[in-house]
Structure 1
């Protein structure tokens, strides 16, 4: 398949939609796939009302079909088309955080969206992205767009056009090149179908920010362990993983350096994921700096790009520092845990 590329500036908006975006929207209407930037990561979009279109997402990504997709909209008013009711907690969250990196799980109306998109669940995950290109594309298509991350399933999510180009060229109809994304990790997913809303996936909006608006929320145990029937993307399968074996290291810099030396003595090419503050301390084959420890938003922004960089550098072992699990740090640690397949080394 020939994959067309449209280069679009972020100055586009819903009231002034570029011809390139209109063309991409027409491709979506034909039930083909288009990758596009959001404020979190690049999404792989399809017409969420069409089984035919949505099945192409799973095929292109190699994604398990029991992993539900997020439905993207361009106006809060559209939510009523797809759900049976909107709880007050969900309304408050929409009013506060939309458009933005928050996905809300609600009870879906039957017969409106593709059952393939929702993995035959009784719920649907919906968000209104903040990125102007994403909003313009949804508006131009007139469709609710199902869109997981635009990468091969299990690999680090794409935050740059080059990531999408590498993974999906020849597999999808088109890619909108809108430059780098902003937040760097996916949206927070919160289930508002229960009496106490429950975070199913930490992301761009912190638990603390949510609780400031609607009070105490739960965090699903599935964030820490595998589940049988996931309500949210990213809950069941290994995600975000580089090719090399990866370990999170809960310990001092001296302990990490000890591990580096140990693996090097075994003939391994060792990479370290670290921050600007600590990078000069280590003596490894590859040292990749992933933002500032003093500003974890920079770590989130560069996390997936850094994980992909290790693949290009052909390391055998990756040792990653850990981060405080508060605020955006919760999302960072969630992604690192999945990337490392929950392998942690702790200093004794």
Structure 2
């Protein structure tokens, strides 16, 4: 199955299905000497773990990461790092009925058309559980970036029609509410909205925003591997994501050039920008300002409300989906967005090391 590998220099391959024995990832290209232990990875996995509150699927999994290779005496060795997480509480019988019909909003129909066969248990390879491998790898990429002073912070910008008030954003609040919103009042209103949707056996979507700070200018490859293009590809590879924008995004289409352009200034003896409408990217390369982007996450397609669909006998039938599902995907997807951003930046950082001859000569000068 092509399409399970991401990255060029910092490369990951995820594997496993929702109801298989385990899910995991192989990371190749991580430099040797990075301090790393399972606890570093667990901090990230715990943020996407199911069953943490009433707004997440009640499926209970420990999601404990096991490192199988690539680490010795608490440091990366430069060889491939293999990680796995066991699936312990899969209930495949909950999905036996859907083998004969196609769920609205899922990949059931398209997988049957492509492969002539599909693993219908919990969505198989298309399940959100596949993102465990991404998050585990993203934890390693994030630790690598921290060595360079580069930090990422993703959070819920909106749930349904309830949005964070940018004037009252408090990043300390993100971990204090179950929706990962940096605005206490907005989180309270969003929970009321979700409670109403759950009572109607429905689901809700939302928007996740991510900020990358400390990224120095020039990261990204012009033309096809621009920083923003690579981020867009990474984000749209997440199953529930249906849209991407960076900086002003779609609002830029309604602005004048005089409004959208970021004027340059000298600040503390360095070139800086007066504003950041570009979202930290110019010409596909980082410009030194914070990289700020947003993704749109669709409502969970598995809902208990009555729907209509078609079965393999070409009959239209009513369905009510059973099993354990998230009424909103957004909060658990926050760390997935952060992880994919970290993987993208780490990959482009390593790619950038060969961009200038003077820096190559400086690196190898001790051998000249």
Q: Same fold (TM over 0.5)?
A: no
Q: 1 or 2, which has the higher helix percentage?
A: 2
TM-score, normalised by the number of residues in structure 1: 0.26
